[in-house]
């Protein structure tokens, strides 16, 4: 399929051929008919990418700080490669579209194939022929409304939410400052609510359009009599509410809004403007300043937008989806007109010209700019044939090289796994991600032969020998089992599974594979491959007595809304992160965990509360490991710190950069300029193990580590030690 994309480094626009999206639970596949370019937002996005590196750095000081921190930990070269990879990627554009439903997930009852729907959301309602959209970001288009009109629904919901925040009542006077698309729609919506409406803009054409769309009055911002004109219109009282839909770095809209409002009036900010509240008008009039959050309640809430959890109508009358539906109803009843707003329609093949238009490279006036998509003719009852695989150039690997497939290629995989495959005796065959655009990006940047959105194209391919799995945690176990059943060597990022049932399924698949294949299987517990950890283990070689290992992790705060904290998708920090440290202790002691006991700072420990936890591990050879996992520490303290004691020897490892070895009253110090956690070595040794057939990490070990994390959660819940 075709999709509009923007290159991050230079802001270059293109129409790319990418794999079709994969149907997932909780949503639908939609064939777009039209999508709306949000001129202000998308023009700014292009302009920011076209700025030089210095300008980008000045505009993003927090990002610069993060890059400098990466350089401090990982070194200049590794950080440079990571930044260049991110800069070379292509991003999706668009967040408002309309089309017809092609396919529906099994858990969806709201829609059926053939329904016409309006779609919303960045990363979902993109400028692409086909899109996957979660159900709460879709609204059925009522009869009498065309898909061209419905393509405005997201912007219409933004305008509607702004009007709702103004809390208009019949007969009040509402001023709308900024008469772009959102402003013109807000004018009509406020008028439909029974208000007297005044429009204000710097552009005389926008002022005239607002009058033609029903504004009772409209004025130029440049008018010297603007304040007196509004006072005259309102019989000397001032406006009851002012809605700011302008886009400017200036504070002028906020300043003039305060002057135009009556005593105890309301000012609602929808647009992107400077926000410095002038004290005099806002204080003297005791004005109410409000912010309007995009499409409405549910916006930025993953449980609502991605998982389909609705808010009860008795408590939240207007959600973002209900706002979308109401906007469509207003269009159906002709209370909001779209016809005069559309100035340009570009076919998808000419989409780059649309961006030339909104970036000012054309002298044409514009307002509503639409992208139109060709419609395939299908027989009734026929199925859409998805194109989930796009071929690129053949891999440059040598004959006899190991063929690699990758499933999941987010920031971590691109920074910590994929670069270490370069130059090895491998052929990069295929890469699969949930986004066709991202799959094509990764394939192009790292040299894969094909890109896909369907994991079956990787696991089921006879041309692929080994599969790397770096998706979100909830997919690890099922993809591992699938790859094993197809006789693939497997490298899977941690955690291996999120439950005993998932882990049991992997164990069954692995045990069945032993009957007809000798597969190498590795979980991404990279710390055991760190040079400093290996040096520490060698230091204690020959020590007969058990070890005492104390491992402190200053993990830092992570909001409960983060996907890794979700018990379904991420499993929480115990399963998702503490597994690393259990494996490291296993490696150092050479023993498996047999019993765990955990206590948390929280009164009732669970996956989202156990961010501050102390864990005691009993190991099979009598060793003891103590893990202190913290989210409440200061960021200036190093992230990981390990102390090992045994046989009158001590090793102290500070954040994989400084290793101190104590024996016989003397100290030997090993220092590194960068944090080296073993990612490169684990990838190299996994490839080598497949080529040579040697064992790497026992399957029993990775299963024991995973089981131990489940028992830690059980211990937190019961307050008792638990056998692994």
pLDDT digits (tens, 9 = 90+) for 345-390: 999 999 999 999 998 877 889 999 999 999 875 444 445 567 889 9
443 alpha-carbon distance from chain centroid: 20
Smallest CA-to-CA distance from 244 within 287, 214, 193, 305 is with 287
Burial zone of 160 (CB within 10 Å; 0-12 exposed, 13-18 middle, 19+ buried)? buried
CB atoms within 10 A of CB 364: 8
According to CATH, the superfamily of the domain at 391-523 is NAD(P)-binding Rossmann-like Domain (3.40.50.720)
User: Mean per-residue pLDDT for 430-448?
Assistant: 94
Burial zone of 542 (CB within 10 Å; 0-12 exposed, 13-18 middle, 19+ buried)? exposed
**Of residues 585 and 377, which shows the higher confidence score?**
585
Give the pair of three-digit tokens for residue 273: 């403007």
* pLDDT at residue 81 tops 70: no
CB atoms within 10 A of CB 71: 17
468 touches 432 (CB < 8 A): no
> Does the CA dihedral 169-171-176-181 come out positive or negative?
positive
Q: Which DSSP helix (H) or strand (E) runs through 78?
A: helix 76-87
pLDDT digits (tens, 9 = 90+) for 556-579: 998 888 888 888 999 999 999 999
Give the pair of three-digit tokens for residue 527: 């710390």
pLDDT of residue 449: 95
Smallest CA-to-CA distance from 549 within 614, 654, 613, 627 is with 627
pLDDT digits (tens, 9 = 90+) for 308-319: 999 999 999 999
pLDDT digits (tens, 9 = 90+) for 520-548: 999 999 999 999 999 999 999 989 899 99
Task: Specify whether the backbone of 303 is left (phi greater than 0), alpha (psi in -120 to 50) or beta.
Answer: alpha
Q: Which CATH number fits domain 527-723: 3.40.50.720, 3.20.10.10, 3.10.450.50, 3.30.360.10?
A: 3.30.360.10
Q: What's the start-to-end Cα distance of the chain, in Å?
A: 49
333 alpha-carbon distance from chain centroid: 37
Architecture of domain 2-152+338-372: Alpha-Beta Complex (3.90)
User: Tell me, what DSSP letter sits at residue 128?
Assistant: B
Share of the chain above pLDDT 90, in %: 81
User: Tell me, what DSSP letter sits at residue 372?
Assistant: E
The CATH number assigned to the domain with range 157-291 reads: 3.40.50.720
User: Mean per-residue pLDDT for 394-403?
Assistant: 76
pLDDT of residue 14: 94
CA distance linking residue 537 with residue 438, whole number of Å: 40
* pLDDT at residue 11 tops 90: no
Alpha-carbon distances of 685 from 417, 493, 587, 706, rounded to whole Å: 12, 15, 16, 22
Mean pLDDT of the chain: 92
Least confident range of 224-238, 598-612, 631-645: 598-612
Give the pair of three-digit tokens for residue 111: 């829609």
**Of residues 643 and 562, which shows the higher confidence score?**
643
User: Mean per-residue pLDDT for 424-449?
Assistant: 93
pLDDT digits (tens, 9 = 90+) for 588-630: 999 999 999 999 986 554 444 578 999 999 999 999 999 999 9
pLDDT of residue 334: 97
CA distance linking residue 161 with residue 152, whole number of Å: 14
475 touches 422 (CB < 8 A): no
218 touches 196 (CB < 8 A): no
Side-chain half-sphere CA neighbours of 625 within 13 A: 30
- Please give the order of strands across the beta sheet that includes 2-7: 13-17, 2-7, 90-92
User: Mean per-residue pLDDT for 437-443?
Assistant: 94
Bridge partners of 239, per DSSP, are 261
Least confident range of 377-381, 585-589, 667-671: 377-381
pLDDT of residue 628: 97
**157-291 and 527-723: same fold?**
no
Q: Which distant-in-sequence residues (6+ apart) come within 8 Å of 35 by Cβ?
A: 94, 96, 97, 98, 125, 126, 127, 128, 151, 370, 371, 373
pLDDT of residue 511: 95
Alpha-helical regions (H) of 422-550:
436-446, 456-459, 476-485, 500-513, 531-539
Smallest CA-to-CA distance from 14 within 81, 86, 89 is with 89
Bridge partners of 92, per DSSP, are 5
Beta strand residue intervals within 113-238, DSSP E: 116-120, 130-134, 138-140, 173-177, 196-201, 217-220
Alpha-helical regions (H) of 28-75:
39-50, 53-59, 61-74
User: Tell me, what DSSP letter sits at residue 11?
Assistant: -
177 touches 242 (CB < 8 A): yes
Domain range annotation of the chain: 2-152+338-372, 157-291, 391-523, 527-723
CA distance linking residue 541 with residue 556, whole number of Å: 33
Q: Which distant-in-sequence residues (6+ apart) come within 8 Å of 446 by Cβ?
A: 414, 418, 421, 422, 428, 431
pLDDT digits (tens, 9 = 90+) for 475-499: 999 999 999 999 999 999 999 999 9
Side-chain half-sphere CA neighbours of 85 within 13 A: 23
């Amino acid at each position: 399929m075709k999709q509009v994309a923007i290159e991050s480094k230079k802001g270059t626009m293109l129409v790319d051929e990418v794999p079709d999206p994969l149907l997932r639970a909780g949503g639908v596949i939609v064939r777009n008919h039209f999508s709306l370019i949000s001129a202000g937002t998308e023009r700014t996005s292009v302009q920011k990418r076209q700025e030089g590196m210095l300008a980008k750095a000045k505009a993003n000081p927090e990002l610069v700080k993060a890059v400098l921190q990466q350089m401090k930990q990982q070194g200049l070269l590794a950080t440079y490669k990571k930044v260049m990879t991110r800069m070379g990627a292509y991003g999706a554009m668009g967040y408002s579209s309309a089309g017809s439903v092609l396919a529906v997930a099994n858990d969806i009852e709201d829609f059926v194939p053939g329904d016409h729907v309006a779609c919303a959301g960045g990363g979902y309602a993109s400028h692409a022929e086909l899109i996957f959209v979660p159900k709460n970001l879709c609204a059925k288009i009522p009869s009498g409304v065309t898909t061209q009109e419905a393509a405005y629904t997201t912007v219409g919901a933004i305008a509607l939410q702004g009007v709702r925040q103004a809390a208009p009542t019949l007969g009040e006077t509402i001023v709308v400052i900024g008469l772009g698309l959102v402003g013109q729609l807000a004018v009509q919506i406020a008028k439909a609510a029974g208000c007297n409406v005044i429009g204000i803009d710097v552009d005389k054409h926008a002022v005239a359009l607002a009058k033609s769309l029903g504004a009772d009055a409209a004025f130029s911002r440049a008018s010297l009599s603007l304040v007196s004109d509004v006072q005259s219109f309102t019989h000397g009282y001032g406006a009851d509410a002012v809605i700011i839909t302008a886009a400017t770095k200036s504070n002028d809209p906020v300043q003039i809004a305060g002057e135009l409002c009556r005593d105890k009036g309301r000012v609602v900010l929808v647009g992107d403007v400077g926000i410095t509240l002038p004290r005099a008008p806002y204080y003297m009039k005791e004005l109410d300043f409000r912010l309007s959050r995009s499409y409405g309640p549910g916006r930025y809430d993953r449980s609502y937008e991605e998982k389909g959890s609705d808010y009860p109508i008795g408590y939240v009358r207007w959600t973002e989806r209900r706002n979308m539906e109401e906007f469509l109803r207003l269009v159906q009843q002709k209370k909001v007109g779209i016809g005069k707003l559309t100035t340009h329609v570009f076919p998808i093949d000419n989409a780059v010209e649309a961006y030339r238009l909104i970036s000012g490279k054309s002298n044409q006036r514009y307002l509503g700019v639409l992208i139109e998509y060709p419609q395939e003719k299908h027989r009734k009852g026929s199925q859409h044939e998805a194109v989930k695989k796009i071929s690129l150039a053949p891999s440059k690997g040598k004959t006899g090289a190991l063929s690699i497939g990758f499933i999941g290629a987010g920031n971590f995989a691109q920074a910590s796994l994929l670069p270490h495959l370069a130059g090895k005796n491998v052929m990069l065959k295929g890469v699969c991600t949930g986004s066709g655009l991202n799959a094509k990006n990764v394939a192009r940047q790292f040299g894969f032969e094909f890109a896909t959105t369907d994991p079956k194209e990787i696991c089921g391919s006879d041309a692929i020998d080994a599969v790397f799995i770096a998706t979100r945690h909830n997919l690890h176990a099922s993809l591992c089992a699938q790859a094993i059943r197809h006789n693939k060597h497997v490298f899977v990022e941690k955690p291996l599974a999120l439950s005993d049932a998932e882990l049991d399924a992997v164990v069954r698949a692995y045990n069945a594979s032993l009957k007809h294949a000798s597969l190498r299987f590795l979980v991404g517990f990279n710390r055991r491959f760190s040079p400093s950890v290996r040096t520490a283990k060698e230091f204690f070689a020959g020590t007969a007595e058990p070890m005492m290992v104390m491992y402190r992790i200053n993990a830092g705060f992570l909001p409960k809304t983060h996907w890794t904290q979700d018990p379904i998708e991420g499993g929480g920090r115990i399963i998702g992160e503490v597994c690393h440290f259990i494996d490291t202790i296993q490696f150092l002691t050479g023993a498996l965990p047999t019993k765990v006991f955990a206590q948390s700072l929280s009164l009732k420990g669970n996956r989202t509360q156990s961010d501050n936890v102390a864990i005691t591990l009993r190991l099979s050879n009598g060793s003891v490991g103590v893990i202190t996992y913290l989210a409440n520490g200061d960021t200036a303290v190093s992230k990981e710190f390990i102390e090992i004691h045994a046989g009158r020897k001590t090793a102290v490892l500070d954040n994989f950069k400084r290793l101190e070895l104590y024996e016989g009253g003397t100290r030997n110090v090993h220092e590194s300029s960068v944090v080296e956690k073993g990612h490169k070595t684990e990838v190299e040794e996994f490839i080598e193990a497949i080529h040579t057939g040697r064992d790497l990490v026992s399957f029993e070990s990775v299963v024991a580590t995973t089981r131990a994390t489940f028992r830690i959660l059980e211990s937190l819940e019961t307050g008792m030690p638990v056998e692994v």
